[in-house]
Structure 1
Amino acid sequence: MAAAPTTPEARPEPKLGLRERKKIQTRQAIRRAAYRLFKEQGYDATPVDQIAAAADISPSTVFRYFPTKEDIVLTDEYDALMEAALRARPPGEAPLESIRQSILTPLRQVFEGEWEEMIERTRLLQEVPALRARSNESMAESGRVLAGVLCERTGRPAGDIEVEVLVGAVFGAFEAALMHWARNGHQEDLITLMEQALDVLGRGLTL
């Protein structure tokens, strides 16, 4: 039997500290309360003080974690997870593969516990113009985080245009897959759609 081809192993991903885990738990509690209220009475009809009461915290605590109501929907834990995953990828790995795995690996973990929240999030993005307007800003910030790490890994200067184009293309593919999933009633497997979208980039944008 032929030996299986070897691939570089990723380093173990660093674990988040207790303080960061508690912050994540608080943000998740706020988000769950908000999504429940948004679904029951609509996004525009739900003030932040109701969200705070439903999460059993003060409005000031909500604003400490989410400066605006839009941020409750658009801000998540993915950036920290993706950054940690990217830093843990094997040295010398192709940049596109590193970015691909740094996005897909954390999302597989997140979807296991937050599937319904992801469905609600994409529904809101489709229905609320204010959220759609802010979502591009949020996606751009996520891209800047990963582009900075990728510049470090490849020895390129911060703000390198080729790195920014690569990361921007990956996030564009990611967003296209997410919106396709939402438009089609969340019936398809989201991870498979994302893999297909990133495959297009891997082929050099050929069909």
Structure 2
Amino acid sequence: MDQRTRTRRRNRAAIQEAALRLFQRQGYEATTVAQIAREAGVSHMTFFRCFPTKEDVVLQDEYDPMLEELVREQPATLPAVERIHRATLVGLGRVYEHNREALLDRSRLLLSIPALRSRVGENLASASTAFERGLTPPETTHPTLEVRAVAAACSAALSAAVIAWVDTDGEGELPELVDRAFLALRASSPGHHRS
């Protein structure tokens, strides 16, 4: 990873952390981009280089490339849903312990702010695409319909788990809810269907 990429990642993380602090302190609507940039110690221009809009500070994350890679690392002999299930739990394990509260705060914002909620579909599509890419062999140009369907179902299962987590105000643990959602999905699909 080159210096520019490291700096960009550091700036993105600082901006997201500052934004979440301000959103909690004074509310999402009352917080301006200028305030977020000031709190993060970056310029206005740096903010917009990292995030096109205030909404994107909450919507964007670095998880999709990680999920794609983790799905690809699972044994190809496993059913597609199981490959995604395992990969998602591994990925969640990497970020959950240190970022539980930030994840919960972001998820709450996504589901409670109308401007953000209207864009939740983008997040679903983004996770679905990461799953598709992870399941599709590198030499293949386009995912099959079966792969697309499995990826969409899995991103919906992940979303259902996050919604259930927010609905209980983080009472349970997200990895456990994700596991349950995927187990329900796997139970409803015959074991002989592999993609």
Report the equivalent of 2:44: 59
CA offset digits 1:89-131 (Å, max 9, x no partner): 2343322121112212111111122111111112212320110
Deviation at 1:36, TM superposition (A): 0.4
Paired residues of 2:128 and 2:155 also in contact (CA < 8 A): yes
C-alpha distance in 2 between matches for 1:118 and 1:190: 10
Residue of structure 2 aligned with 1:122, choices 107, 114, 132: 107
Counterpart-to-counterpart distance in 2, 1:55 and 1:69? 14
1:174 aligns with 2:158: yes
Report the secondary structure of 1:30's partner residue: helix
> What TM-score do the two structures reach when normalised by structure 2?
0.89
Q: CA offset at residue 166 of structure 1?
A: 0.4
Pairing partner for 2:33 from 48, 51, 62: 48
CA distance in 2, matches of 1:22, 1:89: 31
Contact 1:173/1:198 (<8 A) preserved: yes
Tell me how far apart the structure 2 counterparts of residues 142 and 202 of structure 1 sit (CA, whole Å).
Answer: 18
Question: Counterparts of 1:1-12 in structure 2 under 5 Å?
Answer: none
Structure 1 SS opposite 2:118:
helix
Change (3 A) 1:83 1:129: same
Aligned-partner Cα distance in 2 for 1:170–1:80:
16
- What count of residue pairs does the alignment treat as equivalent? 189
- Do residues 188 (structure 1) and 172 (structure 2) align? yes
Paired residues of 1:78 and 1:107 also in contact (CA < 8 A) = no
Which whole-Å deviations, capped at 9, do the CAs of 1:180-203 have from their partners, x for residues lacking one? Answer: 111111110110010000001111
1:75 alignment partner in structure 2: 60
Q: Which residue of 1 aligns with 2:88?
A: 103
Pairing of 1:84-163 with structure 2 (within 5 A): 84-152=69-137, 158-163=142-147
Q: 1:23 aligns with which of 3, 8, 12?
A: 8
Residues 67 and 130, structure 2, Cα contact 8 Å, conserved in 1: no
User: Which residue number corresponds to residue 193 of structure 2?
Assistant: none
Q: Relative contact order: is structure 1 or structure 2 higher (C-alpha 8 Å, sep ≥ 6)?
A: 2
Identify if the C-alpha distance between structure 1 residues 26 and 81 changes in structure 2 by more than 3 Å, giving closer, same or farther: same
What is the RMSD computed on CA atoms of the aligned residues? 1.9
Does the CA contact (< 8 Å) of 1:24 and 1:77 recur in 2?
no
In structure 1, list runs of 5 or more residues that go unmatched. 1-16
Report the CA distance shift for 1:159/1:84 in structure 2 as closer, same or farther (over 3 A): closer
